[in-house]
A and B are shown apart, each in its own frame.
Chain A
Amino acid sequence: MSIWVGEDAKVLIQGVTGRQGTFHGGKMVEYGTDIVGGVTPGKGGMTVSLHGRVVPVFDGMEQAVEETMADVSVIYVPPPYAGAAIKEAASAFQTVRGSGLVVCITEGIPILDMVDVVDAMASYPDVRLIGPNCPCIITPGSNGGSKIGIMPGHIHRKGRIGIVSKSGTLTYEAVAQTTGIGEGQSTCIGIGGDPVQGTGFIDCLEAFESDPQTEAIVLIGEIGGSAEEEAAEWISANGTKPVVGFVAGSTAPPGKRMGHAGAIISGGKGTAAEKITAFRAAGIHVADDPSVIGQVLADALIEAGLRES
């Protein structure tokens, strides 16, 4: 098992004929992801070659889902159109299949567009949105697997650790270290660094908690907002699996946006110190230094009787 994306997920790419869509489409095919087609309005009937695999292009999502029976769509559409692309995908999955997963890579979507999108997602209760502004989701398989997004595939290995993070490169850091201590990953999810987003930490924690393949969780947060505190509260009340945590931004100055749109300490709120305190109070094994995430994880697994010392 894994969460939300199986090793054999059928995937569509919205914005497939764009530079990013084609480039990352190729990388996904190379990893083993089953890309079944793409969507670019006005280019229906064309085909694109992704790392040697030729797939059809459709004008719209509804037709694309009908003809391919895809269960996942990944969006590489520029910010002005990304909100509409998410809604189109959600509607198509709900109408045609009754469910689906929409993954949005796009960085720089206006916040009010996302408020609108998240509001609209309530009409598609069985469709999940991950992102925007995220590296996205990967379920490593025994042979290949399903990589949906922009992460480097080769550092992953199938295993029992679930990883969820707001940051792309910090996720890679955590992945490489879990692989480094001889463990692998069930599913890794980058939920993105935007203030308004689809899937949050708690959705991921709930899913990992009920996924039999996942035996321990790595949770990586950063300054801004209160999602980390809420996640800690959820773990306190519901968590049974060991959790290793890290929070980036202890040295970030207040009032300055640190790259991610959501990473800002405002009015003295959203500091790393508050989040780390909440993590510790919830029994999360905190890594003070991201270089020791692997080590802290190994210790947590030993403590839980899941690994020989």
Chain B
Amino acid sequence: MNIHEYQAKNMFRESGVPVLEGVHCKNVDEALSAYQKLGRGTVAVKSQIHAGGRGKGTLLCPDTGEVRMKGGVKIAFSEHEVGEYASNILGNLLVTKQTGPAGKMVRNLYVEAGCSIAHEYYLAMLIDRSANSLLVMASEQGGVDIEDVAENDPDAIHRIWSEGKNGFTESQCLELGSALGLVGESCSSFSDLVVNLGELFIRSDCSMIEINPLVRTENGGMIALDAKVSFDDNALFRHPEWENVRDLSEEEEIEVRAKETGLSYVKLDGDIGCMVNGAGLAMATMDVIKLYGGEPANFLDVGGGANEDQVTTAFSIILEDPNVKGILVNIFGGIMRCDIIANGIIAAVGKLGLSDPLVVRLAGTNVDEGKAILENSGLNIHPADSLAEGAEKIVNLIQEGF
């Protein structure tokens, strides 16, 4: 789960990670009074969406598609500019390299005080799977894409690891600061920041925190100029407060709905809908569709113990996608029984109607009963014995313009 920059900065502020003063705004009037409140100096007017690359993004009018403004993060020097930028941002679509061409509607704005920057750094905290610990990655090259740094100048990235679930020690952090060329006040300020960030990471069950850029100001202080925080979804049960920072409009509505019914769904760009049990087999099913010349429309794992209702919901979610021209069901029954899946398919088709071709591959527990149920249903279902056969069949059926 991701949160907005302004929400992340509130958490930083409460945790002793220095940030500038700023105000969250929902409309132009609020932006203007924020400017007043921040002392009418130089401010940053920042679009709030759950995607990176905002500064280099483009704002488009949602109705006409025409360009409203280049850059989703602007420096304003006057009340007039604050008003102009805020109205170009709010209610418009921001397209960045992470949003895809459709962009994301901007509903939130952050107006933040300015500061004099001496240098920009990069800092990220995450979980290192193979070391089984927290990892901090930092670089003297801030404000740029860390993937580019990793590729072009890997030695410029410095790392420290925690001991298991403990945070970071002061001496580790001071050493990292020195590696970044920080001295004196700046180095100890950096060290405090990383120690506090580590405590925040653990206390709040984060899965990633990224600060890009982290800046050293002219007077030597360290400030998080940006803030990206992701939480570990698995820890939701002990963080009821996440409900207050969750912005459902930033999530794919259909993926949220799927999750509520216990399904795991990811929309893709192709035209063959798939319904599979198990994440690995669901991925493999997409791969095999592609191998036979088709394009999967989605990833959908119905889980280990789906019932008839869940199968119906899964079908309706697949069919909501207007690109879908055919469906491949691939079930390897373990705990999941094939006869239950077969009854679920029949119920779903009865309820939703189905004009597109449907290929069903069943294997495992109660496979014969499942196949018999489908065969006797009188529905136009194409059976398959293997995944490859199923994929080939659905691809051919769609190409023939069934």
Contacts and interface: CB of A to CB of B under 8 A. Distances in A.
Interface of A: 79-80, 108-113, 115-116, 118-119, 135, 150-152, 154-155, 165-173, 176, 193, 195-196, 220, 222-223, 225-227, 230, 246, 248-253, 255-263, 267-268, 272, 288-292
Interface in B356-387: 363-365, 386-387
Given A111-B234, A152-B334, A260 B299 contact: no
Interface stretch (B17-25, B107-115, B276-284, B311-319): B276-284
Interface stretch (B39-47, B69-77, B129-137, B177-185): B129-137
Interface of B: 98, 127, 129-130, 132-134, 146-147, 150, 163-165, 202, 205, 207, 232-235, 237-238, 264, 266, 268, 276-284, 286-291, 296, 299, 301, 304, 332-335, 363-365, 386-389
A80 B237 contact: yes
Contacts of B268: 251, 253
Contacts of B290: 250-251
11 contacts: A167-B278, A168-B280, A176-B363, A196-B129, A227-B129, A251-B290, A258-B266, A258-B299, A259-B264, A262-B129, A291-B387
A172 B332 contact: yes
Given A262-B129, A267-B147, A291-B387, A169 B235 contact: no
A268 B164 contact: no
A169 B365 CA distance: 12
Contacts of A246: 284
A256 B280 contact: no
A230 B131 CA distance: 13
B266 A110 contact: no
Nearest to B337: A152
Nearest to A246: B284
A252 to B, nearest CB: 6
Most buried by A among B129, B264, B301: B129
B334 A248 contact: no
Given A223-B283, A288-B291, A110 B232 contact: yes
A171 B280 CA distance: 9
B127 A263 contact: no
Contacts of A193: 279-280
A172 B132 contact: no
Given A112-B232, A251-B289, A260-B279, 13 more contacts: A80-B237, A109-B234, A110-B234, A118-B132, A119-B133, A119-B165, A168-B280, A173-B363, A173-B387, A176-B332, A250-B287, A256-B266, A289-B287
B283 A168 contact: no
B364 A115 contact: no
B334 A169 contact: yes
A176 B364 contact: yes
